[in-house]
Amino acid sequence: MVVREQLMAALAGARDRVSADLRLAPEAPVEVRLSVPPGADAADFSSDLALDLARMARQPAAEVARALVEHLEPVAEGLEWVERLEITPSGLVNFHLRSDWVREAIREACRQGVRYGRSEVAPEAQEERIQVEFVSANPTGPLTIGHGRGAALGDAIANLLEWTGRGVTRESYVNDTGKQIERFGQALEAAYRRRLGGSAATSNAADDPAAEYAAEIAARIQPKAESRCAGLPAEEWPRVLAELGAEQVLTDHRAVLERFGVRIDEWRSEADLLASGRLEEAIQTLRTNDCVYEAEGALWLRATAKGDSEDRPLIRSNGQPAYLAGDLAYHLDKFSRGFDRVIDIWGPHHAEYVRRTLAGVRALGCNADALEIVVFQPVSVKIEGVVVHSGEGGARAGNNLLLDQVIEKAGRGTLRFLYLSRPANQPLELDLDALAGTSNPAYPVLWAYEEAAVCAGSDSVSSAQTAEVELGELSDPREETLMRRLADFPDQVVLAARERDPSRLTRYALETAREFEAFRALLASGPEAGSIKPAHAAVARATRVVLGNALAILGIVEQE
């Protein structure tokens, strides 16, 4: 039951009608928010919408709140669960729901199991095609802890969208052309010649910081390289070795992501994209739209006319395309494939490209409002008291810590929980010294997930019977608080999906685990300690369902 969502929709309708009465500008409507006040005896939901409207209209907040309540449509979904509405002197609108709504949610969780929290959307939204692009790493080095954050974030966002009824394609863009690939080929040539016992003097890559990694890849591709390079002139070797090396690195990337539980539906090659003529198509589209000009021997995008701070080069004076040109060709390709919404997950070093990319998408005539760019902040790791900072690419060199090393140290589930414990716009430090036992940040949730199964299974009542058990006898504040939290899960999924913020679910899971711990302590106390009533078994089973579904969305456990 997405009661919170239904009440927010009802409030949005009332907001629009009140805004019209107050002659407020309709182009920027005030956001509707519903919070859950603390305490079992508090209102179920509270809205501060009237306070925002009152400030804009310079009216008393309590009067605006009364107007909101009067404009609520009586037949709006969700209002059938409302027992009474309360307007506080400060202008808050509090919703007190019927006492049976949380109990019906518990039964629903037991009945639906792995489907509890999945929501249906309007037919037009079901037809919406969404692409989520993430882990678009250069195939010139191993995946680092920075890539790991993008992988966990992109995969969880895609899961959330699927849970809210959207069709999602998960895509990774392989940057297999350009200067980095050329340098990689040179480093591979130097390493390969050394393996053949020859001189690497023809290459200037011997001192490259990626030399160690290149030597490792050269050893692994040597059988194929001997076949492919035989009879070729020496100047062709770097190109061939770069192709073979990129294939090997990409195979490694796929293996690490599979180990991390991350699914990629499509791997798109930059080299294939450029060979298809999409870059020329993008440039021609920009010319047709009068969004480019020539100066200083280069071709420039009129980015300032589309919201950027300065114009940007597309084709440099040497005839080579700038990074932005290829990026715009890729986004044109995305929209040309029929995606209605595109979500890019970018690392911190790409933050400066957001405005210019949006400007370029507008210049192409694409709907920039359909492009969302989520930029996550840097990751660092603490090992034995030493903080290791992350890069996002490059070689097995310097202070880059590799994703597969951290998976080995922390485990897939714990590492994904840690990656998703903070919003993307906040820096993240992974303390690998604090992973054992109860110091593990994921421990409370994993404990509650397992203990809920024990608690639910200790009663002879079947799952189907538990779903219909009488819950009216549960009245302790700890029981009420936990049940209200479980009832809120479907709405938490919708909110996390809308905000593109999986960390909302990690916080929700921790709060649920703490409330289950208090509930479990209640069962262990009193004259009937140790005996679990059918009503308690139902709540425990619902807890197991909710935590299992939350952890499945986060990619921490496989769904039962």
pLDDT of residue 221: 96
CA distances from 427 to 6, 355, 380, 421, 423 (A): 34, 21, 8, 11, 9
Amino acid in the structure at residue 69: V
Mean pLDDT of 190-200: 81
Residue labelled with tokens 């680092």: 144
CA neighbor of 88 nearest in space, from 69, 75, 101, 74:
69
Cα angle: 133, vertex 277, 374; to 5 degrees: 20
With beta carbons less than 8 A apart as the criterion, state whether 106 and 542 touch. Answer: yes
Q: What is the pLDDT of residues 333-380, one digit of tens each?
A: 999 999 999 999 999 989 999 999 999 999 999 999 999 999 999 999
Give the confidence band of 202 by pLDDT, cuts at 50, 70, 90.
very low
Contact 378, 125 (CB under 8 A): no
pLDDT higher than 80, residue 209: no
Tell me the per-residue pLDDT of 483-542, one tens digit each, with 9 for 90 and over. Answer: 999 999 999 999 999 999 999 999 999 999 999 999 999 998 866 666 788 999 999 999
Supply the pLDDT for residue 268: 96
Assigned token pair, 128: 């919406």
Q: What is the pLDDT of residues 90-113, one digit of tens each?
A: 999 999 998 788 999 999 999 999
Round to whole Å and give the CA distance between 519 and 480.
Answer: 9
Place of tokens 């930059």: 270
Stretch (H or E) spanning 421: none
Q: Which of 552, 524, 553 is nearest to 540 (CA)?
A: 524
Closest C-alpha to 344, from 558, 154, 121, 95: 154
- The structure tokens 């209209």 sit at 57
Q: Quick one: pLDDT band at residue 465, thresholds 50, 70, 90? A: low
The percentage of the chain sitting over the pLDDT mark of 90, rounded to a whole number, equals 72
Residues 502, 165: Cα–Cα separation, whole Å: 16
Residues 209 and 270: beta-carbon distance below 8 Å? no
Contacts of 233 (CB under 8 A, 6+ apart): none
* Nearest residue to 8 (alpha-carbon basis) of 59, 61, 45, 51: 45
Q: Which residue has the higher pLDDT, 342 or 40?
A: 342
Angle at 119 between CA 116 and CA 125, to 5 degrees: 160
What confidence tier does 393 reach under pLDDT thresholds 50, 70, 90? very low
Backbone φ and ψ for 102, nearest 5 degrees, come out as: -70, -35
Question: Which of 8-12, 368-372, 421-425 comes out lowest in average pLDDT?
Answer: 8-12
| Among the ranges given (448-462, 502-516, 543-557), the one the predictor scored with the smallest mean pLDDT | 448-462
Q: For residue 535, what are the β-bridge partners? A: none
Give residue for tokens 């909710």.
546
- What are the C-alpha distances in Å from 187 to residues 175, 249, 302? 17, 14, 38
Of 256-260, 382-386, 431-435, 472-476, which has the strongest mean pLDDT? 256-260
**C-alpha separations of 100 from 6, 483, 486 in Å:** 17, 11, 14
**Amino acid (1-letter code) at residue 237:** W
Across the chain, how many H-helices and E-strands are there?
21, 14
The better pLDDT of the pair 509, 123 is held by 509
Amino acid 457: pLDDT: 80
> How large is the greatest C-alpha to C-alpha distance in the chain, in angstroms?
88
Residue in this structure with the two tokens 């209002």, named with its chain if needed: 79
Calculate mean pLDDT across residues 404-429.
Answer: 94
**Does residue 196 register a pLDDT over 50?**
yes
206 has pLDDT over 60: no
Task: Name 144's bridge partners.
Answer: 402
Confidence check: pLDDT of 225 > 70: yes
Tell me the average pLDDT across 233-241: 94
Q: Are strands 167-174 and 129-133 parallel, antiparallel or unpaired?
A: parallel
Cβ atoms within 10 Å of 551's Cβ, excluding its own: 23
pLDDT at 231: 87
What confidence tier does 392 reach under pLDDT thresholds 50, 70, 90? low
Chain centroid to Cα 346, Å, comes to 11
The total number of residues written for the chain in this structure: 560
Q: What is the pLDDT of residue 204?
A: 47
CB-CB contact of 455 with 511 (8 Å): no
Going by C-alpha positions, the residue among 382, 416, 420, 412 that lies closest to residue 399 is 382
Helix (H) or strand (E) holding 371: strand 371-375
Average pLDDT, the chain: 90
Residue 40 burial (CB < 10 Å; 0-12/13-18/19+)?
Answer: middle
| CB distance 51 to 92 below 8 Å | yes
Residue 205, pLDDT score: 45
CA distance 506 to 227: 51
Look up residue 103 and give its amino acid. Answer: R
Note the pLDDT tens digit of each residue in 468-498: 778 878 889 899 999 999 999 999 999 999 9
